[in-house]
Structure 1
Amino acid sequence: MDGRWLGAMPVDTFLNKYFPATEEPLPDLPDNPFENVPSKGSESGRYDPFITAIQEWMPHLQAVNTSTKGDKVNKVNLKTDISIYNRVGGVPPPDRTDFSRMELWMEFKATKDGAAFRDPRIDTEEERLLAIETGSFTPDTDEGKKARGQLAHYAGAQHSQQFRHFSFSVVIQEDHARFLRWDPSATVVTAEFNYRTNPRLMVEFLWRFDHLSPKQRGHDVSIQLANLAPEVDARVREKLGIKNSDIALYQYEVPGMIGMGYAYGPRFPTENRSLVSRCTRSSPVVWIPNEDVLGGTKSCGEPGSHSERNVDEHVGEDEVKKGPWSKERVIYMKDTWRFLSDLADVEVMPEHEIYEILHQHRTPHIPELVIGGDVDGGRTQTQELVDAPWLCVQPRISPYQHYRLVHGIVGRPLFQFDSTKQLVTAVFDALQAHSHAVNYAKLLHRDISVGNIILTDEGKGLLIDWEMAKKMDEHGSRRPDRTGTWQFMSANLLQQPGKFHTVTDDLESFLHVLAWTTIRYVPAIDSYSAGRRGKDLASFDEHDEMEGHCHEGGHLKGLLLAAGKYPSSSFQPRCKTPLFELLQELRKPFKSLYGDPPTDTDRKKVEFPFDQSDWELVVMRAAIDRYEKDMACLQSSTWFVDTIKMALDKQEWPTDDKADRNIRITFPRETPRQEQIRTSHRQRSQAMWRSSKALPSSSKRAASPTPGPSSKRPRGTPAACGTRC
């Protein structure tokens, strides 16, 4: 969240921008509506009196003291001090924190010690620039970071449990309050105000919020609770394997298919812990076409309220009547926030357009049926504030657009392979898709990961998730962050956050996908302990935070590859398989990439014919030839495709060495000595980074990065150093 707290916005400016005036006038305001709220004493003693004071200004909402009853989200129990819920049909609101239902939450702090925000004095432009330079608005104290982290955790939980484009919340410290607005780009924070001496601002906020429509409160209205006929509801649940009748089904609009039908399924599963990200969620759903397309009886019990909306240009009505969308079918839906460039000369294609290019060039091993588009009302707004005169932070914002995409095929994760040969086959298929895209469609994927290779029912591999793909001839930067799947990014990208993403980086990612999946899921001999397995996996997670929001890592990856010890030779599969020998073969070119290259002096020594009895020169010539051959292998996928194909042609592949998802793993704890080494490395890295800031801008631009969640380290581990990608 560093660089993504935009403040301090004047409160009246905030209200006028995000809260339209209500037709129903605000009732007369008492002289001191908060006189019964204690100004001293315990924090918990303020909740109920505050609820009593504000309830008058929320005729459609109900405030509840939820400070003692939490909601478990992503295995963490979270308790907001006050939760505000809708009053629905006389049904009482929950008496506990329920992030799936709350409209607004409030967090109290009894004192200003450890404040999350501090408004600097900015009477002049010079004072504002000084506040930006010192970061005084977001105090760099442990207490301040913890407080901001708590707020971000609550907002992330609310967005993960609801269908939202944005949300609002209130933070109160002593007698002062702030309003916040959250979306996947950043968080807008108002200046603080004293709600006792200036109660109008608090009352105006609550009154206007109470009168907002669901869309104005941030809800994604393209998703509604399903209203299916009982027999259709049962059929959907059967197709999706939903045995629990208490699990609600939702109706999803499919961009590109508006008016043609809807997709039905449960709430998207999510493990997103960060609100500021692409927030990708995906799940199988059931597509059901509408009667006005098929000319028959409605296949569902909903009223078809969107049937008059225009059909998207991507799919014509005749195509729907005759094609694959004319029948009820299970599809795979991806819901995400796609990145938008804020640069006028940079265009970021939505993923379905990338698929169109891939299909035009007959790219194999990708989903055949793909429909996608932007969700109405789902564009972030915080990026519009980066030049606001009140802004006293250095913003680090990426604009996003809510986006939905569906595949006509529902695969299974790569880590559910039935045999190691099937695992290698799937990676081989994905590599062929990648090679074809580079050579013919001129597109580079740039996010090769375990999650982006799926298995079909026939055991083949498909390369999916092309939203980060970039044209091969596009060298301009796009964004201030790199987001990708940390464990599978190349060591060079992790070590050099300003490096431009190349084919070589993607090829290395394929190696990491195969190695990580092997170590994580392939049964090994008994001597390969849970601790050893955890230590080997930890090398993929290695990272070190640097100054300036920058993450760096991959040093151990690079060292192991340079030494020819990747992956660890201590891993021995329980069933004899050519898999490990294949990994050892695939790593060979990277030994030259991460090792010491031949020196100019050595090259000159063997530049001309020499006596073959001079053993030193013979070895030197062989090493140079090996290096040049390896580097040539890394320029395209040809060698990798041939190498894997030769391995798959072998006869000794077992058929019963399937993935084991219950393998016990123990991750190592950092020893004091390791912490000392890591801290020393970080200090050196920070010094190098500070030195690089003094370089001319043209020098830094020569190595502009590209994004690789994002967070599934979750995908989304940032690696930005002020450059743009």
Structure 2
Amino acid sequence: MPNVDQSRGAELYVVLPFTLLFAPSYYHVATVDIWHCCEAPTRTTLSIYLPPHGLPDNTYNMPNARRGVYHVPMPIDDNHACTRDMNPSSGDARMRRHLRDSRSFTAGPMPVEQFIDCFLPQVPSERENEILSSRKAFRNVPSGAPTPAEIYKPLLEALNKSTKHKSHAPGLVFANASARSENPHEPGYMKPHICCYTASNGELVAQSPISSRADLGYAELFIEVKSDAYLDFFVDPPCDATAEELAAHEFVARHEPDRATQRVIRSFGQHIMYTTEILARQHRTFVLSITMAGSTARLCRWDRSGLIVSRSFDIRERPDLLCDFLARFACASNTERGHDETVEMATLEEETLFRETITKHVREQLGVEGDALAKAVSEHYEPGYVMAMHVNAVDMENPECAGNTERFLVSRPVTVPLYVYGKCTRGYWATQTGTGRVVFLKDTWRLPGDQEGTIINELNAAGVRNVPTIVAHGDVYAKSPPAQKTLTLGEVGYGLERMRGTQELLSATYDAFHAMRDASDKASRIHRDISVSNIILVQEVNGAPRKGYLIDWESSDKVDTDGLALERARTGTWRFMSIKILEYPEKGHTLQDDMESLLYVILYCSLLHLPHSMRNPDHLHRFIHKFFDDCSYGVGRLHGGDAKLVNTDDRTWTQRIKFNSQNIADWLETVMNYHSPPRHLRREWWDRWSNPEYLDTLWSAFMRRDLEKDDAVQNEVKKAHQRVRSVEDSRIPFIPPTRSYDKDDATFCLAKESQPVVPRKRLQVIAPTPLRRSERLRTQLMSPGPKPTQTVAPWRRSTLASGHSKGDSTRPKKRIRTH
């Protein structure tokens, strides 16, 4: 057994008009030696967070033993038609994205015995007589077969084998979940071959319709089977390998692009999808699973730090290993199986309180009644599924005093993580049981670096406007690995997608701009993740315009004397990143990059929620895809921003959009000219973007105009079969292996609807003159034809690369501002 140490973590704090509670958990840290599967594998020591067997005396005593919280509600899409971002039609894209990401968070192989000892407790001596012998337990499982069914059917029979008083996993049942699917061969509909449930939950799953995802909502663990050992996604080093050989070994093999290896890749991608969905549909700290290739098996442990994989072993030759694993798992507590026991089901009285307070708050925020009110409430409340979370709050002014345990009620989240690794934030509207106040609860995994509570406290002390104000903080103790739970008390609002019109869009984003400027000027900090989801609208006074708040400061960073972020890395939401950060992330984030992101946020919201000339849903989708989401992979990293760069020269993209509101059209045109002045203004406006006071003055003048108050619409956008991750939870988009649309160029995107699309014609190349970057991008993005008469001047290309320019007649002294 590896050495085990005990640690505590994080903090809790309360803010006004929002209250943020960071709830880390009490945990063990086990140190084990494993092998990384990176580009150049090296041996290292990994700290693994483990549930404890006991808690300190001052830890909050959770009432009653809980059976765990299963099959929790998921966010619903804008049409209330399906789970947000889990449309089955995009399953294949999600699978490939998970596979691409998996190389960065997978570690192994870990010796099987050490894996079992590290992650599961011993079977209690008083229960040993309940465990069935492992002798020849899996002798009927073939070592290989033409189909997975010929493997998992005898395996399923062996797993469920029992006598009157003994079984391999007492209290648990195993079922064929793959048969319970409407379309078992499509990634978005598929389910694991075998799922393990408690006996009572197995009955609930059997009674649910096959179209439901209850199989994953109730699963304790799952087993995915491939038909032969050569289909194993991982490759173990030889047992007698030297240190040099181990260092050079690649645990995740690089597969050739043939049909067999595509089966391997697809199968493991599906395995990741199942894990992701279990983590989303249950309150979990980790998930255990088994991947099989023929009769060889690997044990897997998934948490927000990544994946640890055991060495492979043959269950026919070593049935004791799998039987020991299952017996320990069956005898483990809910916490030791990976359930987060800081969450429990609420009482009927608490559910009534939650429903009434949420209904009242929605009515105040939206001013709706009847069916519209019921529909809005359903975004946060699912009848029969109200949970309670416990937080131990400590007064910030008296941190040495014992904290009071607060109980908060939640139901349907507004966002859940659809990936395994990272902060993986859940967000809820919640009710504080002691006061009946509606709050926002943010549940996120703790990462190294400054805590968001510390950051916001610093901003408050500096007098930064339109950010939360901290009034208390403290620790929360629980029987789970470290996670941060953030609660926001006071007013809780809606995202920009609920804006009422042009006035509210420009007003709320102007409030966010004030927060950005104040943070930079007064606290030397920049946000680095300006996006649609990080600006919220709050109705503070009846009849007054809703106020904008800039939230989620956990990705922010201090800046040096030159205004550059101390951390030189790409950070933010892909759709709204500046041109510079997309192409040259190592050059450092600045306030001007955040300003550019805010420009893209307003353009994006205008395209989706204000009336304009592009009424064709397909054209609008193509515009958004190319301008905001498009990317490519090369030289070891993602690249993007080609359409944004081309648009800085002659507004190739945005000039075709005619907004009904002349005010928003004027604002966008003027601010784009500030960011990248046209030729005739470059000498005069060279500092319009480097000095944010110009934008502030312009914005203030626009707010004195008679802006449209109720012109918001919901423009229809054609859904792509292969979608990138949503704005709410996406930082890096999915990259398809090939271009999604062969005709997805600027001319096709922006063509007038009355004009027919004509076939392309191949033109003869007259001279092999190398194209400058802007011309090359235009050639890629637009239909073939004569070279454009307008090109990006040489000083513009060098400016975008460096962020600076000279001050003569051909190189105006201008600093290009990019998010």
Instruction: Give the aligned partner of residue 176 of structure 2.
Output: 65
1: CA distance, partners of 2:612 / 2:228: 55
Instruction: Give the aligned partner of residue 646 of structure 1.
Output: 701
Instruction: Give the aligned partner of residue 423 of structure 1.
Output: 505
Q: Cα distance 1:423–1:352, how it changes in 2: closer, same or farther (>3 A)? A: same
Give the 3-state SS of the residue equivalent to 2:419 in structure 1: coil
Instruction: Give the aligned partner of residue 574 of structure 2.
Output: 486
Instruction: Give the aligned partner of residue 13 of structure 1.
Output: 114
Give the 3-state SS of the residue equivalent to 1:159 in structure 2: helix
* Conservation of the 8 A alpha-carbon contact between 1:355 and 1:370: no
Q: Does 1:579 align with 2:667?
A: no
* Conservation of the 8 A alpha-carbon contact between 1:224 and 1:250: yes
User: Displacement, 1:13?
Assistant: 1.4
* Conservation of the 8 A alpha-carbon contact between 1:374 and 1:403: no
Instruction: Give the aligned partner of residue 631 of structure 2.
Output: 543
Q: Cα distance 1:643–1:554, how it changes in 2: closer, same or farther (>3 A)? A: same
Instruction: Give the aligned partner of residue 192 of structure 2.
Output: 80
- Most deviating of 120-129 and 469-478: 469-478
2: CA distance, partners of 1:360 / 1:125: 53
User: Displacement, 1:455?
Assistant: 0.9
User: Displacement, 1:92?
Assistant: 5.7
- Provide TM-score, normalisation by structure 2: 0.65
* Conservation of the 8 A alpha-carbon contact between 1:67 and 1:79: yes
Query: 1:438-467 deviations in whole A, cap 9, x for unaligned?
Result: 111222111101111111123221111111
The one of 45, 51, 74 equivalent to 2:156 is 51
Q: Does 1:210 align with 2:330?
A: yes
User: Displacement, 1:477?
Assistant: 6.6
Instruction: Give the aligned partner of residue 448 of structure 1.
Output: 530
* Conservation of the 8 A alpha-carbon contact between 1:287 and 1:330: yes
Instruction: Give the aligned partner of residue 663 of structure 1.
Output: 716
2: CA distance, partners of 1:264 / 1:469: 29
* Conservation of the 8 A alpha-carbon contact between 2:393 and 2:405: no
Give the 3-state SS of the residue equivalent to 2:486 in structure 1: strand
2: CA distance, partners of 1:436 / 1:275: 35
Query: 1:517-537 deviations in whole A, cap 9, x for unaligned?
Result: 111221113x64333322321
* Conservation of the 8 A alpha-carbon contact between 1:589 and 1:633: yes
| Aligned CA-pair RMSD | 3.5
* Conservation of the 8 A alpha-carbon contact between 1:181 and 1:189: yes
Give the 3-state SS of the residue equivalent to 1:57 in structure 2: coil
Query: 1:117-149 deviations in whole A, cap 9, x for unaligned?
Result: 2223360122122214x9538888533332221
Matches within 5 A, 1:157-236: 157-229=277-349, 232=353, 235-236=356-357
User: Displacement, 1:41?
Assistant: 5.2
2: CA distance, partners of 1:636 / 1:212: 61
Instruction: Give the aligned partner of residue 249 of structure 2.
Output: 131
2: CA distance, partners of 1:145 / 1:7: 18
User: Displacement, 1:28?
Assistant: 6.3
Give the 3-state SS of the residue equivalent to 1:78 in structure 2: coil
2: CA distance, partners of 1:379 / 1:558: 47
Query: 1:622-658 deviations in whole A, cap 9, x for unaligned?
Result: 85x34xx53x33334222111111122223x223312
Query: 1:25-48 deviations in whole A, cap 9, x for unaligned?
Result: 644635311123344454224434
Q: Does 1:278 align with 2:331?
A: no
Query: 1:366-417 deviations in whole A, cap 9, x for unaligned?
Result: 234676667646987xxxxxxxxxxxxxxxxxxx844323242211111211
The one of 404, 410, 414 equivalent to 2:496 is 414
2:137 is matched by which residue type in structure 1? P
2: CA distance, partners of 1:370 / 1:412: 23
Give the 3-state SS of the residue equivalent to 1:578 in structure 2: helix
Q: Does 1:116 align with 2:266?
A: no
1: CA distance, partners of 2:179 / 2:283: 26
Instruction: Give the aligned partner of residue 470 of structure 1.
Output: 557
1: CA distance, partners of 2:537 / 2:623: 25
2: CA distance, partners of 1:568 / 1:259: 54
2: CA distance, partners of 1:656 / 1:673: 33
- Provide TM-score, normalisation by structure 1: 0.73
Instruction: Give the aligned partner of residue 795 of structure 2.
Output: none
* Conservation of the 8 A alpha-carbon contact between 2:194 and 2:224: yes
Instruction: Give the aligned partner of residue 332 of structure 1.
Output: 440
Instruction: Give the aligned partner of residue 588 of structure 1.
Output: 673
Q: Cα distance 1:379–1:276, how it changes in 2: closer, same or farther (>3 A)? A: farther
2: CA distance, partners of 1:449 / 1:655: 22
Unaligned 5+ residue runs, structure 1?
290-326, 341-347, 381-399, 597-618, 686-702, 705-725
1:437 is matched by which residue type in structure 2? A
Give the 3-state SS of the residue equivalent to 2:317 in structure 1: coil
Unaligned 5+ residue runs, structure 2?
1-101, 161-166, 363-373, 395-402, 540-544, 721-738, 747-759, 763-772, 778-800, 803-819
Query: 1:340-368 deviations in whole A, cap 9, x for unaligned?
Result: 1xxxxxxx221122111111122211234
2: CA distance, partners of 1:68 / 1:93: 13
1: CA distance, partners of 2:691 / 2:343: 43
2: CA distance, partners of 1:495 / 1:3: 21
* Conservation of the 8 A alpha-carbon contact between 2:529 and 2:571: no
Give the 3-state SS of the residue equivalent to 1:467 in structure 2: coil
User: Displacement, 1:163?
Assistant: 0.8
Matches within 5 A, 1:491-570: 491-525=579-613, 528-538=615-625, 539-548=627-636, 550-561=637-648, 563-565=649-651, 568-570=654-656
1: CA distance, partners of 2:517 / 2:172: 56
1:235 is matched by which residue type in structure 2? E
* Conservation of the 8 A alpha-carbon contact between 1:222 and 1:375: no
1: CA distance, partners of 2:256 / 2:280: 27
Instruction: Tell me how many residue pairs correspond in the alignment.
Output: 581
Give the 3-state SS of the residue equivalent to 1:466 in structure 2: coil
Q: Does 1:36 align with 2:144?
A: no
